[in-house]
Amino acid sequence: MIDTFTRRSWTIGVLATVIGFGGALLSALGITDVANGAVPRGMTFVVGALVARWLVTSGTDAWASFAARAIRDRWRRTVIDQLERPRAEGERGRRDVALAIDHAAAAPALDVVGASARTAVLGIVIVWLAAGWLSAGIVVVLLGVAIPLYQRAGRRSAVLSKDYNQRRDVLERRQLEMLQHAPELRALGAVGYGADEIAAVSDAEHHAAIRAIRVALESSLVTEFLSGVSVGLVAMVVGFGLLRGTITLDRALVAVLITSELFGYVRRFGVEFHRRDDATASIALLRRAPGVSYSTSGPLVAAQALVTEASTSPVTLEVHPGQRLLVTGPSGVGKTTLAHTLVGWRQAVSGSVTRRDSSIAIVSPASALFDGSLLENVTLGREIPDSLVRARLDELGLTGPRFEDLSVPLLADGEGLSAGERVRLVLARATLADPALIIVDDIAGVLDEANRRRVAQLLQRLTTLSVVEISVDAPLLDHVDQRIELGP
């Protein structure tokens, strides 16, 4: 969609510049007619030029609004896909997705500006034909001065923007840390320490924002200055030509108005470099979607020559309904990354992943529990009878006082429960959700022998459930249809 809008935006930008130059020529003719006494015809030309400019501006704005709405609707439908992808090392959080969508939506309007500015350079030829080489040379020189200034401002803006984003992330993390440890700080009488920490980080973030704003203002001042100087110098040259009688009024007006029009497009292009960078980066972020295609038939999940971020060895596999697959290998070879790539949480380096459009559950020691009741954590709002929830918990050995009352509250991430209890709660939740496929990611290590048997028996009993188990050396599954061993 973005590529289609880009092509159309460039066409609109070129047409807008051509019509803008046409309006400048028409205005020059109209003013000349007024000066020569042909007021009605001259005013007709001037009004026609103004109407043409208004139509172009209105049409361009309407197109930009339409394209922005379409892009927002397109990317907002993929927000869940963006949010479900785990945060990569060093990557900013998913909170940026909504802002990235807004920035990406501005891309068509910015493409129009870019196309208009590039087409406007052809105005140099018009200035040369109307007023000679000196006026055209002035325009060329000032454009040559403007380009490196724009580039320098763009580089500085990118550096300052990165610095600001980093400081903002630090501020958010420190705020969360201080809130989390507020009771301890209060007990130690060190609340002032926390406040001072937040104030210091906040001041650093504020200064970074001020520096970024200053660069933007400097860029705007440069464009305004160069635009004013260029029009003034061209007007001075053609003015002397009028005094000497070497140039006619209409040609002089054409040179001045085209120069003003040209630098108007270039000026707008220059001041939008911040938004262009934001739009480009946002589109790259939004397009970095997991490379998974979906089908309505065939295997539940299949990989063909799949190379993941953690391993250079290609993997080919298929998991059909009811089948069991075991992925083994030493720690750090990319077993978990393979699982995340299969479900679309991470992007493949090469190869392809195809999965049926059906539910997949993942159970791992890192799976989350939520701040809510035991029942809410297991059912996640589904209408599941309490008796079935109780039976599944009993089957997994989750008995005793802590699990008798389904309304008992659990703390976030299951604080107070052992790692084995948390994993079994997540497994109960996953199996009660009736998925087509469940991925069990190396949970045997947090279970004792008795609970390993319970989990293995449950998985064995659910014969219609497809299972992919990831294990280093102690798999829960006794019989598998396929075994894949990853090596270093």
Can you give the three-state secondary structure of 59-109, one letter per residue?
Answer: HHHHHHHHHHHHHHHHHHCCHHHHHHCCCCCCCCCCCHHHHHHHHHHCHHH
Q: In the predicted model, what is the mean pLDDT of residues 454-461?
A: 90
Asked if the model's pLDDT at residue 246 lies above 80, the reply is: yes
**Which residue type, as a one-letter code, is found at position 188?**
L
> How far is the CA of 138 from the CAs of 117, 118, 206, 230, 240, in angstroms?
18, 18, 41, 7, 15
Q: How many CA atoms lie within 13 A of 426 on its CB side?
A: 24
Report the CATH number that the domain containing residue 318 is assigned in CATH: 3.40.50.300
Structure tokens at 331: 């720690």
Q: State what percent of residues in the chain have pLDDT above 70.
A: 85
> How far is the CA of 250 from the CAs of 25, 31, 126, 233, 296, in angstroms?
9, 8, 13, 18, 69
Please say which residue of 237, 266, 287 terminates a domain.
287
Residue whose C-alpha is closest to residue 262's, from 77, 10, 18: 18
Instruction: Specify the DSSP element, H or E, that contains 320.
Output: none
Instruction: Report the C-alpha gap between 49 and 43 in whole angstroms.
Output: 10
Instruction: Specify the DSSP element, H or E, that contains 383.
Output: none
Instruction: Report the C-alpha gap between 482 and 323 in whole angstroms.
Output: 8
Are 104 and 74 in contact, with CB atoms under 8 Å apart? no
pLDDT of residue 439: 92
Model-wide pTM > 0.75:
no
Please say which residue of 233, 259, 287 terminates a domain.
287
Residues 112 and 208 in one domain: yes
Structure tokens at 30: 């109209």
Residues 217 and 337 in one domain: no
Residue whose C-alpha is closest to residue 168's, from 219, 280, 93: 93
User: Whole-number mean pLDDT of the chain?
Assistant: 82
Q: In the predicted model, what is the mean pLDDT of residues 448-452?
A: 89
Please count the structural domains in the chain: 2
Q: Which structural domain, as residue segments, surrounds residue 257?
A: 2-287
pLDDT of residue 94: 47
Residues 46 and 92 in one domain: yes
pLDDT band, very low/low/confident/very high, at 126 (cuts 50, 70, 90): very high
Residues 94 and 226 in one domain: yes
Digit-coded pLDDT (tens) for 151-177 = 676 667 667 777 777 777 777 777 777
Digit-coded pLDDT (tens) for 275-313 = 777 777 777 766 654 456 777 778 888 888 888 888 888
**Which residue type, as a one-letter code, is found at position 298?**
G
Residues 269 and 322 in one domain: no
Instruction: Report the C-alpha gap between 257 and 251 in whole angstroms.
Output: 10
Residues 267 and 328 in one domain: no
Residues 50 and 174 in one domain: yes
Structure tokens at 31: 């003013």
pLDDT of residue 83: 53
Residues 86 and 24 in one domain: yes
The 10 Å Cβ neighbour count of residue 295 is 12
Q: Which long-range contacts (CB under 8 A, 24 or more apart) does 152-157 make?
A: 153/215, 153/218, 153/219, 153/222, 153/270, 153/273, 154/273, 154/277, 156/215, 157/212, 157/215, 157/216, 157/219, 157/273, 157/274, 157/277
Burial class, 136, CB count within 10 angstroms (exposed 0-12 / middle 13-18 / buried 19+): buried
pLDDT of residue 381: 82
Structure tokens at 467: 């299972």
Do strands 350-356 and 324-328 pair parallel, antiparallel, or not at all (unpaired)? unpaired
Residues 261 and 382 in one domain: no
**Residue keyed to tokens 């969360």:** 176
Residues 346 and 265 in one domain: no
Terminal CA-CA length for the chain: 40
Digit-coded pLDDT (tens) for 12-49 = 989 999 999 999 999 999 999 898 888 898 899 999 99
Q: In the predicted model, what is the mean pLDDT of residues 470-477?
A: 83
pLDDT band, very low/low/confident/very high, at 6 (cuts 50, 70, 90): confident
Instruction: Specify the DSSP element, H or E, that contains 194.
Output: helix 191-244
Residue whose C-alpha is closest to residue 427's, from 398, 385, 463: 398
Structure tokens at 458: 């449950």
Are 486 and 333 in contact, with CB atoms under 8 Å apart? yes
pLDDT band, very low/low/confident/very high, at 467 (cuts 50, 70, 90): very high
pLDDT of residue 92: 44
**Which residue type, as a one-letter code, is found at position 150?**
Y
Asked if the model's pLDDT at residue 479 lies above 90, the reply is: no
Q: Three-state SS across 273-288?
A: HHHHHHHHHHHHHHHC
pLDDT band, very low/low/confident/very high, at 5 (cuts 50, 70, 90): confident
Asked if the model's pLDDT at residue 264 lies above 90, the reply is: no
Residues 327 and 383 in one domain: yes
Instruction: Report the C-alpha gap between 119 and 22 in whole angstroms.
Output: 13
Instruction: Report the C-alpha gap between 190 and 186 in whole angstroms.
Output: 6
Residues 256 and 327 in one domain: no
- Which of 192-196, 390-394, 453-457 is predicted least confidently? 192-196
Please say which residue of 252, 287, 322 terminates a domain.
287
Are 332 and 401 in contact, with CB atoms under 8 Å apart? no
Report the CATH number that the domain containing residue 22 is assigned in CATH: 1.20.1560.10
Digit-coded pLDDT (tens) for 55-113 = 988 988 898 898 888 888 877 766 655 555 555 444 444 456 677 778 788 888 888 88
Q: Which long-range contacts (CB under 8 A, 24 or more apart) does 317-323 make?
A: 317/482, 317/484, 318/482, 319/437, 319/466, 319/468, 319/482, 320/466, 321/436, 321/464, 321/466, 322/463, 322/464, 322/465, 322/466, 323/466, 323/481, 323/482
Q: In the predicted model, what is the mean pLDDT of residues 456-463?
A: 89
pLDDT band, very low/low/confident/very high, at 427 (cuts 50, 70, 90): very high
